[in-house]
Amino acid sequence: MQRAHNFSAGPAILPIQVLEETAQAVLNYNNLGMSIMEMSHRSKEYDAVFIETQLDGLKVMGLSPDEYDVLFLGGGASTQFLMIAYNFLKSKADYINTGIWAKKAIKEAKWVGGDVKVVASSEDTKFNYIPKNVQFSPDADYVHITTNNTVEGTWYPSIPDTGSVPLIGDLSSEFLSREMDYSKFDLIYAGAQKNIGPAGVTMVVIKKSLMERWTGKAPTMLDYKIHLENGSMYNTPPCLPVYVINRVFKWILNQGGLPAVEATNKKKGYLLYDYLDANSDFYIPQVKTKEDRSLMNVCWNLTSEELESKFCAEAKKRYNMTNLKGHRSVGGIRASIYNACPIESVEALITYMGEFMKENK
């Protein structure tokens, strides 16, 4: 099979090995004579997959199961916006507004009520940087940040220190792409379809001690406590998506964990950004502050919208490069180069960019 050069922001590319393992498990899991999709989620075989996935996730992050729990929930990262506020917003919460997704998280928290304080925002410059040296409220119930801004192509060069105030992070579009002190977070969530699996499941990592601050106000399906007490099986979990995540975690661990993943991501990201910076009269990078540039979503403009449309159309036609069009809210070009995007795709993209510039400059 000839694979496309897939630069989709999500659902996004997965490792071919994971797709092959999943294809096999969908037909006949471990020679049990049935599909992984046909098994009871309470069978001992499936339970083993589920628990292994939870533990491998913590292992990749360097977190202990004595301190952290893992949930696999439906409803997308978008439902987490609401669940977080329902479960932990008692009187006041601090939010940093760094993009479209951060804004949606703020909107849901306001819907729940309480004092939702936007302590910093980069909206004035179309979210093209990450606010630094933010003053947090010492009496906040939590601080919420969006570590990688999928649409705008920024990420936090370092995770802010919130002192004794719990830190909650939406890591959806960079989850497990770089080494990071994950223990700085009290709650991490990530929609799987960006970097760790297919759509349909959201991974939530909760520090056990955070539950001491639980409000007890959420309806059943939005209540972390209910999901925690039931081992993330209060209702039927997204069984097949969790299996795919299981294979992705093995793929990460087998290549040496996050140091290896980060090294590859740096190679890919710097290759592309160096090319943009060297040709910025034709390919104009959207994020100017170098340290804030996401190595997952790389965004740039051409000198006109017509040229941008032509760039995407020709990429598809000549080299089967897909999903290069920027998000509808910001326009331009966006290449999402998540963990599973091979360096060959980035190299092919740069070769194409050279050709296109020669023909159109």
Q: Which is nearer to ligand PLP, 22 or 154 (CB)?
A: 154
Is residue 66 exposed (0-12), middle (13-18) or buried (19+ Cβ within 10 Å)? exposed
Q: Which amino acid is at 136?
A: F
Q: Identify the residue among 5, 6, 7, 10 touching ligand PLP (CB under 6 A).
A: 10
Q: Identify the residue among 22, 54, 97, 172 touching ligand PLP (CB under 6 A).
A: 172
Q: Which is nearer to ligand PLP, 39 or 61 (CB)?
A: 61
Q: Identify the residue among 97, 146, 265, 294 touching ligand PLP (CB under 6 A).
A: 146
319: CB partners within 8 A, 6+ apart: 5, 348, 352
Does 78 sit near ligand PLP (CB under 6 A)?
A: yes
217 in catalytic set: no
- From the list 13, 15, 16, 7, the residue with the least C-alpha distance to 322 is 7
Is residue 26 exposed (0-12), middle (13-18) or buried (19+ Cβ within 10 Å)? middle
**Which one of 15-23, 51-59, 165-173, 306-314 is the stretch in contact with ligand PLP (CB under 6 A)?**
165-173
Cis? peptide before 166, omega within 30° of 0: no
Does 191 sit near ligand PLP (CB under 6 A)?
A: yes
Q: Which is nearer to ligand PLP, 21 or 326 (CB)?
A: 326
Q: Looking at beta carbons, which residue is closest to ligand PLP?
A: 76
Does 101 sit near ligand PLP (CB under 6 A)?
A: yes
198: CB partners within 8 A, 6+ apart: 11, 14, 192, 240, 241, 244
Q: Which is nearer to ligand PLP, 101 or 283 (CB)?
A: 101
101 in catalytic set: yes
In the region spanning residues 192 to 221, those forming contacts with ligand PLP, defined by CB under 6 A, are 194
Cβ atoms within 10 Å of 245's Cβ, excluding its own:
24
Does 173 sit near ligand PLP (CB under 6 A)?
A: yes
Cβ at position 191, least distance to ligand PLP in Å: 3
Cβ at position 72, least distance to ligand PLP in Å: 13
Q: Which is nearer to ligand PLP, 150 or 339 (CB)?
A: 150
- In Å, the largest CA–CA distance within the chain is 62
Does 150 sit near ligand PLP (CB under 6 A)?
A: yes
- From the list 53, 61, 59, 85, the residue with the least C-alpha distance to 231 is 53
From the candidates 94, 186, 194, 292, which is the catalytic residue? Answer: 194
Cβ at position 114, least distance to ligand PLP in Å: 21
Cβ at position 188, least distance to ligand PLP in Å: 12
In the region spanning residues 315 to 344, those forming contacts with ligand PLP, defined by CB under 6 A, are none
Secondary structure of residue 306 in the 3-state scheme: helix
From the candidates 69, 94, 141, 170, which is the catalytic residue? Answer: 170
Strands 148-149 and 154-155: antiparallel
Considering CB under 6 A, how many residues would be counted as binding ligand PLP?
12
- From the list 205, 160, 163, the residue with the least C-alpha distance to 186 is 205
257-278 helix and 44-61 helix, angle to the nearest 10 degrees:
60
Q: Please identify every residue annotated as catalytic.
A: 101, 170, 194
* Residue numbers at the binding site for ligand PLP (CB under 6 A): 10, 76-78, 101, 146, 150, 170, 172-173, 191, 194
